Homo-oligomer: A and B are copies of this chain.
């Protein structure tokens, strides 16, 4: 079982933005794509969804960039994953053309399991997962990127 790459990238974007930038230069999608070695076109789609959810502000143009809008201490990871994972089920019953599909009890059981997963993830806020050494590491990444741009 894996969360989608889409969600995975979304969580990293939020973690990256949870630290205030020491210098004034705004964080860009290109910077995050480079830092996490993720294709920019993929990351741009994730950023658009995070912005639609109201958790980040994405401004275009010369001085544009990405800023965390949500309160990291109140943004729950279960909520983030529910949004980014969408309403896909744990099994693709229709795609598999299963003969049990119409009466399936397993399907409901898996849906209950998935809710338990999201509920457990709601026990963590963005601040929880972006704190301590993770936060320090992100600040190192911020600085290293700023230095790389100067050269």
**A residues at B contact (CB < 8 Å):** 1-4, 7-8, 11-12, 15, 35-37, 77, 85, 88, 90-92, 96-100, 102-106, 109-110, 112-121, 123-124, 128-134, 136-138, 141
* Cα A144 to Cα B69 with chains together (Å): 59
Judge whether A138 and B106 touch: CB under 8 Å: no
Given the contacts A1-B1, A37-B97, A134 and B105 also touching, CB distance less than 8 Å: yes
Give every chain B residue within 8 A of A114 (Cβ-Cβ): 1, 117
Which residue on chain B has the smallest CB distance to residue A103?
A: B133
Judge whether B91 and A105 touch: CB under 8 Å: no
Q: Which 5 A-B pairs have the closest CB atoms?
A: A116-B120, A103-B133, A117-B117, A113-B120, A106-B129
Taking the closest CB of chain B, its distance from the CB of A118, in whole angstroms, is 8
Which one of B35, B105, B113, B138 lies within 8 Å of A117 (CB-CB)?
B113
Which residue on chain B has the smallest CB distance to residue A92?
A: B2
Judge whether B134 and A100 touch: CB under 8 Å: yes
* Cα A136 to Cα B118 with chains together (Å): 33
Give every chain B residue within 8 A of A90 (Cβ-Cβ): 1-3
Report 7 cross-chain contacts, Cβ distance below 8 Å, ordered by A residue.
Answer: A3-B90, A3-B110, A15-B106, A100-B137, A104-B134, A105-B134, A113-B120
Give every chain B residue within 8 A of A120 (Cβ-Cβ): 112-113, 115-117
Judge whether A121 and B100 touch: CB under 8 Å: no
Given the contacts A1-B1, A105-B132, A120-B116, A36 and B88 also touching, CB distance less than 8 Å: no
